[in-house]
Amino acid sequence: MTRRCFLFFPCFAPSAPMFTLELRLSGADLTATLRNRSKTAQRYLHQSMLQPVTLTLVHSSGRTVEPEDMRESAKFDNTPYRHLYQTLAPGAAVPLLTAAVTKGQLRWGPLWWGDLAPGRYTATAHLDHRLKQWVDRETKQTGTWPDLWTGPLTSNPVTLNI
């Protein structure tokens, strides 16, 4: 994209994304990593029941294979506690989730695919970073992180042979 300048408005260029989500396969381990691309420390929330990294799995035929989502039947505390938010230094990366790809099965956080047909699949990770509010567990005080980045992230696609 090019820089655009107008008579009454300053020049601007598209800003780089604050975070990127990277998906890597190393042996049988599939890992989603969050990287801070900004020049300042950034706060983020990743919690497998509240705001998980999800995975889209597409068979080589083009058919999306739907997982079983364990959150649908689980009872859990869905309070966004203040201590769940972490800070990531500029340029730093943190692995959010790692799963082992086994023959015919894949468990990814609260998502589970069983009885996968042998073949080639494309996996893509997603994180919809949307929660800004928090509750302090001890004092019950509530608040929001006013400068917290929110938005969707999508990783690079990775090919899996199952």
pLDDT digits (tens, 9 = 90+) for 72-103: 777 778 889 999 999 999 999 999 999 988 88
Query: Measuring CA to CA, how many Å separate 85 from each of 41, 43, 50, 88, 136?
Result: 13, 6, 12, 10, 11
Dist CA 26 CA 99 (whole Å): 11
Dist CA 53 CA 130 (whole Å): 12
As a CATH number, domain 19-161 is: 2.60.40.2970
pLDDT of residue 147: 86
Residue 48 pLDDT grade (very low, low, confident, very high; cuts 50, 70, 90): confident
Contacts of 93 (CB under 8 A, 6+ apart): 22, 33, 34, 35, 36
pTM of the model: 0.84
Dist CA 35 CA 32 (whole Å): 10
